[in-house]
Amino acid sequence: MLKGIGASAGIGIGKARKLIEKPIVYAAVAPADPAAEKQRLDDAVQKFCERNEARAKRMDACGADGEILRGHIAMLSDPYMLSQMQEGIEGGACAEKAVETVCDMFIAAFSATDDELTRQRATDVSDIKKELQRILLGIEDVDLSSLPPQTVLIVEELTPSMTVELDRENVAGIVTERGGRTSHAAILSRSLKIPAVLSVENALALIPSEKEIIVDGSTGEVYTDIDDATRARFIEAQKRFAEQAALEEQFRGKPTVTKNGVSKKLYANIGSPKDLEAVLASDAEGVGLFRTEFLFMDRDTAPTEEEQFEAYKAVAVGMHGKEVIIRTLDVGGDKNIPYLHMKREDNPFMGFRAVRYCLQNREDYKIQLRAILRASAYGNVAIMVPLVTRVDEICTVRTMVEELKDELDAQNILYKKDIQVGVMMETPAACLIADLLAAHADFFSIGTNDLTGYIMAADRGNADVGYLYSTFDPAVLRAIRHIIAAANKRGIPCGMCGEAAADVHMLPLLVSFGLDEFSVNPTSVLSVRSALSALDSTACDEIAQKALSMETEAEVSAYLSSL
């Protein structure tokens, strides 16, 4: 059995088919006619853009996110990138060489950053480079659009363009040698619902072609030696997975309520107005977390008040009066925005991030708060403040909001008068003073992704301490219970927008603690509604009591998984 990262859940059983690309070979001779060579490059770029726009449309049509490919087009349409290539040709390079030199320069720059998202851009540029060179050389792409039935694709790295071409019906699974859970390929395979295991070391060498293999996208396991018993076990698991998905579909359009009639709010997390479609398709009852920092990424300057207003308004309007919780800029930590010129920090997760940055850059923060306030006239918008550690932070934000309201009144600009301002509970300090914060917040939302790391003092990106990073650890469970209890005591709603809100093993505890709102990835909405409907809150209390009496994470995990 080989092990990688489970990136898209489900079981794929089929014949391994390796995708080894034809090598790109060209003679780097200086063009006799540079003007004609530049034209050849322009033609190739145009073909690239047309091809990718068509692919993006096909992706949109099948519910996947075509924007990644439109991002490729935008990158190549960037006058800087193209003019660099043309300068290369003027300097004596053939078009293929000019493409290679410029793309390699971008790849090196992107790969050298500490920021995961920026590093992912290197894969995008590598994808652009290969495709442009193939177009220039007239090399036909491997035909992924017509594959034999039950194919398990084995590739070095799955690029977004490959994912689009895929003959979806015939791809049973995907195995790659590179790529993490947040890579574009992972996101796309999840949206296409293809089981995928990424980062399997030496997969191309270790998995024989045409051999039957099994991909378990939940556990990240790939089985290459299959006996009858293993096959039967996974066929059974596959059936259960399909049955579960069909069962969850029955919860579409239904209210979110436990078996004994306790109603809960079930919201979705988004990063841009483009996610609205997925949210509406997911049947979520609101947006529990709009991560606005994504609006600030992939550009050279901060979005203007008008641009932000349009983005927030689009979501407010699109959700038709359902609640939309907009989190203010959560920059820093692993989210770098180059043009903000933040200093390099030895310990960025403990550093100058989120509300700390915003309160030191108040003029910029005001632009965002004003844009949110203006958008609040178009729907049920709320403001959420990330990484709060002190009472004065939330008080200062509230004062700023009140001052901006006066400004808007003076200008006769509409906004939601009673807009709610909530605190994201994701630091140990916030947990310990939850009672004090509850007096100044209209609501809480628990960010378990950060809270777990900070409580356990374990960086989630560091594999060596990964064993400590678990929401099931007694310390984290107590923190969550404490925060919810403080909110309940003060009579303010408490939600959760970290990944733990979608963990079916965590749900009995969250129900027992009295969590009001669950905000999850759109793809998890129906599974969470289905799981909540099977829970009885009295039984959940017993489960919670038992789990909290346990001393170790291992005991808690084993107990909750056994239910």
- Per CB under 6 A, residues contacting ligand PEP are 289, 291, 330, 426, 447-450, 497-498
- Give the DSSP letter string of 146-195: S--SSEEEEES---HHHHHH--GGGEEEEEESS--TTSHHHHHHHHTT--
> Residue 507 binds which entry of ligand PEP, Mg ion, none, with Cβ cut-offs from 5 to 8 Å by kind?
none
CB of 10 to ligand PEP, least distance (A): 24
CB of 453 to Mg ion, least distance (A): 9
The span from the CA of 193 to the CA of 243, in Å, is 15
Q: Is the distance from CB of 151 to CB of 124 less than 8 angstroms?
A: no
Among the options 72, 94, 103, 184, which is catalytic? Answer: 184
Catalytic, 49? Answer no
Task: Find the length of the chain.
Answer: 563
CB of 250 to ligand PEP, least distance (A): 29
Angle formed by the axes of helices 116-137 and 184-191, nearest 10°: 80
> Residue 498 binds which entry of ligand PEP, Mg ion, none, with Cβ cut-offs from 5 to 8 Å by kind?
ligand PEP
Of 498 and 522, which CB lies nearer to ligand PEP in the complex structure? 498
Residue 233, phi-psi category: left (phi > 0), alpha (psi -120 to 50), beta (remainder): alpha
Of 152 and 423, which CB lies nearer to ligand PEP in the complex structure? 423
State the sign of the Cα–Cα–Cα–Cα dihedral 9, 10, 13, 15.
negative
CB of 452 to ligand PEP, least distance (A): 8
Q: Is the distance from CB of 415 to CB of 405 less than 8 angstroms?
A: yes
CB of 478 to ligand PEP, least distance (A): 17
DSSP state of 234: H
The span from the CA of 493 to the CA of 502, in Å, is 18
Among the options 94, 103, 431, 497, which is catalytic? Answer: 497
Of 480 and 497, which CB lies nearer to ligand PEP in the complex structure? 497
Q: What angle do CA 199, 207, 214 make, to 5 degrees?
A: 80
> Residue 448 binds which entry of ligand PEP, Mg ion, none, with Cβ cut-offs from 5 to 8 Å by kind?
ligand PEP
> Residue 557 binds which entry of ligand PEP, Mg ion, none, with Cβ cut-offs from 5 to 8 Å by kind?
none
The span from the CA of 152 to the CA of 233, in Å, is 18
Under the rule (CB under 5 A), what is the footprint of Mg ion?
426, 447, 450
CB of 386 to Mg ion, least distance (A): 6
CB of 495 to ligand PEP, least distance (A): 10
Burial class (CB in 10 A: 0-12, 13-18, 19+), 226: middle
Of 497 and 506, which CB lies nearer to ligand PEP in the complex structure? 497
Backbone angles phi, psi at 543, to 5 degrees: -60, -45
438-442 long-range contacts, CB within 8 A, separation 24+: 438/486, 438/487, 438/489, 438/490, 438/492, 439/490, 440/391, 440/394, 440/395, 440/398, 441/394, 441/492, 442/382, 442/492
Of 273 and 453, which CB lies nearer to ligand PEP in the complex structure? 453
The span from the CA of 32 to the CA of 497, in Å, is 60
Of 88 and 447, which CB lies nearer to ligand PEP in the complex structure? 447
In 304-359, DSSP assigns E strands to 323-327
Of 219 and 449, which CB lies nearer to ligand PEP in the complex structure? 449
The residue behind tokens 């301490």 is 465
Catalytic, 497? Answer yes
Angle formed by the axes of helices 67-77 and 116-137, nearest 10°: 70
> Residue 291 binds which entry of Mg ion, ligand PEP, none, with Cβ cut-offs from 5 to 8 Å by kind?
ligand PEP
Catalytic positions: 184, 497
